[in-house]
A and B are shown apart, each in its own frame.
Chain A
Amino acid sequence: KAGVTQTPRYLIKTRGQQVTLSCSPISGHRSVSWYQQTPGQGLQFLFEYFSETQRNKGNFPGRFSGRQFSNSRSEMNVSTLELGDSALYLCASSLTGGPTEAFFGQGSRLTVV
């Protein structure tokens, strides 16, 4: 079966712009989580959505937001981009969002210039 798909894979944005990243989970998975990966901070949890509701949120400013659609696809948005937002954004899906393994996408690499 198809894995977690993230689009776009690479993008470059200018400071102050906004960006929307998309994640299509594995078929049947209802939980989608987002992570930011940077060389300095490592992998950090952004938020998790389950059945179109945000269930968990990490310690990121309000510029970072997300949503989930009825087909479980999820988008995350970052507004007013800063240089420090340059990172690999990973999406992970799981069946129920409980203590089970997460399946990761290949990520969207965002560069802010």
Chain B
Amino acid sequence: AQRVTQPEKLLSVFKGAPVELKCNYSYSGSPELFWYVQYSRQRLQLLLRHISRESIKGFTADLNKGETSFHLKKPFAQEEDSAMYYCALSRGAQKLVFGQGTRLTINP
């Protein structure tokens, strides 16, 4: 069965420090992987998807099939990055399997 694990429920870093939010998945096929973000009082929104290999708001994520990981990284955290982050997996249909989420807090 497919599963997404985000080992850190809470992550706190200082402004300007690097950020890495961990995501590991289990899936036997070729998954589509996403990072979603939910800012305070806003709706859940897509941050980035692995197939586009783009950088959004300074965040990048690389799919490592060997380690079955899709960690989200940003070299220099900003206060506006404080939010709830969800890693999600899609197996080709519109059924997203979400991790439990990591609440990221950026301290000034």
Q: Give the number of chain A interface residues (Cβ < 8 Å).
A: 27
Q: Give the number of chain B interface residues (Cβ < 8 Å).
A: 20
- Is A89 in contact with chain B by the CB < 8 A criterion? no
* B44-A48 in contact (CB<8A): no
- Is B40 in contact with chain A by the CB < 8 A criterion? no
Q: State the main secondary structure of chain A at its contact with B.
A: strand
A-B contact count (CB 8 A): 58
A interface residues (Cβ-Cβ under 8 A, vs B): 3-4, 31, 33, 35, 42-45, 48, 50, 55-56, 58, 90, 92, 94, 97-99, 101-107
Quick one: which of A4, A33, A107 contacts B96, CB cutoff 8 A?
A33
Q: What separation, in Å, do the CA atoms of A90 and B45 have in the docked complex?
A: 12
CB distance from A97 to the nearest CB of B (A): 4
The residues of B that contact A97 with a CB separation of less than 8 Å are 93-94
The residues of B that contact A44 with a CB separation of less than 8 Å are 98
- Is B97 in contact with chain A by the CB < 8 A criterion? yes
Given the interface pairs A42-B100, A104-B44, the reply to whether A48 lies near B93 with Cβ below 8 Å is yes
* A105-B43 in contact (CB<8A): yes
B interface residues (Cβ-Cβ under 8 A, vs A): 32, 34, 43-46, 49, 51, 86, 90, 92-101
Chain A residue, CB-CB nearest to B49 = A101
* A45-B97 in contact (CB<8A): yes
Quick one: which of A31, A42, A105 contacts B94, CB cutoff 8 A?
A31
Q: What separation, in Å, do the CA atoms of A49 and B90 have in the docked complex?
A: 16
* A99-B44 in contact (CB<8A): no
* A90-B44 in contact (CB<8A): yes
